[in-house]
Structure 1
C-alpha cells in the first residue's frame, strides 16, 4: 500500500521493499523516461530555431523563466498523482526546447561534438558518483541542506550581477559553482529519499533532472571556453 505515491506507472515495486526504496526506484525510472521528451524538445527547438527569432531580446529568457518556474510550481502541486508525471514530461520537453540554441552553438565549433560528448559523459559520471555516495552514506545531510540553501542564494545573486556586468571570468565562476552545487544537490536529494524525508517520486525526479541539466549546461559553457578555437 502506498498512501502518498498512489500511482505505480512502471510496477517497479517489489514485495517487502520499503516505501523509501519504492519511491527511489520510481524516481530513477521517471528520471530515465524524462530524457525522451527532453531529446524531442531539443530536436524541435533546433528545427524551429526559436532564439534566432528574438535576437538581442530578453523575451527568450523571460519565456524560459515563466515556463520553468510555472511548471515546477504545477508539478509540486500535483506531486502525488499522475498529472504531476505528465507535467514533468512537459517540463523536460520544454527544457530540451530551450537548451537547443546552446547545443547548436556548441556543435558549430570544430570540436563541438567532443565538447557535448565530454559534457554528457562527465554529467553521467557525476551522477553515478554522487548517487553511490548517497547510498553508502549514513548521515542525515541536514547540514548539507543548509549549505545548499546558502549556495543557491549566492548563485542567484551572481547570475543577476552577470546579466548586467557580462564578465567572462564571473560567468565561468558561476558555471563552476553550479557544477558543485548541483552535484551536492543530487547527493542530498537521493539521501533525503533514502532517509524518508521525501515521499514523492515525481518531486525527487524533478530535482534530479534540474541538477543534471545545470551540470550539463555548465560543463558545456566551461568546455567551450577552454576548447573552442573560434
Structure 2
C-alpha cells in the first residue's frame, strides 16, 4: 500500500509539472505570436506607406497571387528555422506594398481619408475583441476548421470571378463573406494557440496577419461602397 501511495504521489507531481510546462509553453507561444504579429504589421504599414507616397501602380493580379503564394509556401517550409522570420517579413512587406495602391485609390474618393481610417479602426476593434474573447473564454473553436477552409476557397474563387467579370454585386457579397470568414479565422487561430492545436508562432502569425489583412480590405470595400 505504501508503494502504491508513493507511486500515486509521484504521478500527481509529474502531472503538475507537465501542466505547468504546458502553460508556460502556451504563454510563450502567445507572447511570441503577438510580438511577431505587431512587428510584421508595423513593417507592412511602412511598405504600404512607401507605396502610397510614391504613388506606386497597382500590380497585376497574377503578380500579387504569385508573390503571395510563393512567399507563403516558402515561409511554411522555413517555419522551424531562423530563415522563417526573414521569409515572413518578406511576405508581409510584399502584401503591405500591394495594399498601398488600393489605399491610394480610396484616398482619392470623397471622404476617402475617413473611409480608410474607419476601416482601420474597425479592423483593430474586431481583432482585439475576438482575440480577447477567445483568450479569456478558452473555448475550442477547432470545429470551424472545415467550414473555414471550404468558405475561404469559395470566397477566393468568387473574388477572382468578380475581378474578371466586373460584377459589383458579386464583389460586395465576397467582401461580406471575407469579413465573416476572417472573423471566424481569428477565433479559430487564437483558440488553437490557447488549446494546444498550434505550436509554431510563425505559422500562427501568418494566419492572424492574413485574417487582419483581408478583414481590412473587406471593410474598406464595404465602407467605400456605402460612401458612393
TM-score bucket (shorter structure):
0.7 to 0.9
For 1:118 and 1:49, locate their aligned partners in 2 and report how far apart those are by CA, in whole Å. Answer: 22
Structure 1 stretches of 4+ with a deviation exceeding 4 A read none
RMSD: 1.8
1:140 match: secondary structure: coil
Report if the CA contact (8 A) 1:51-1:60 is conserved. no
- 2:25 is aligned to 19
Whether contact under 8 Å (1:37, 1:90) holds in the other structure is: no
Q: Is the 8 A contact 1:135 1:191 kept in 2?
A: yes
Where does structure 2 lack aligned partners over 5 or more consecutive residues? 1-20
C-alpha deviations, 1:68-100, integer Å up to 9, x for none?
111111111111222111111111111111011
Gaps of 5+ in 1: 1-14, 53-58
For 2:92 and 2:151, the matched residues in 1 are separated by: 24
137-146 or 124-133, larger mean C-alpha shift:
137-146
Which residues of 2 match residues 1-230 of structure 1 at below 5 A?
A: 17-51=23-57, 60-228=60-228
Higher helix share: 2
Largest Rg, 1 or 2: 2
Residues matched between the structures, number: 208
Distance 2:123 2:113 in 1: 15
Return the TM-score normalized by structure 2.
0.85
Task: Tell me how far apart the structure 1 counterparts of residues 30 and 67 of structure 2 sit (CA, whole Å).
Answer: 27
Q: TM-score, with normalisation over the residues of structure 1? A: 0.85
- Contact kept? 2:75, 2:87, Cα under 8 Å: yes
| 2: CA distance, partners of 1:131 / 1:114 | 25
Task: Name which structure has the greater RCO, CA cutoff 8 Å, separation 6+.
Answer: 1
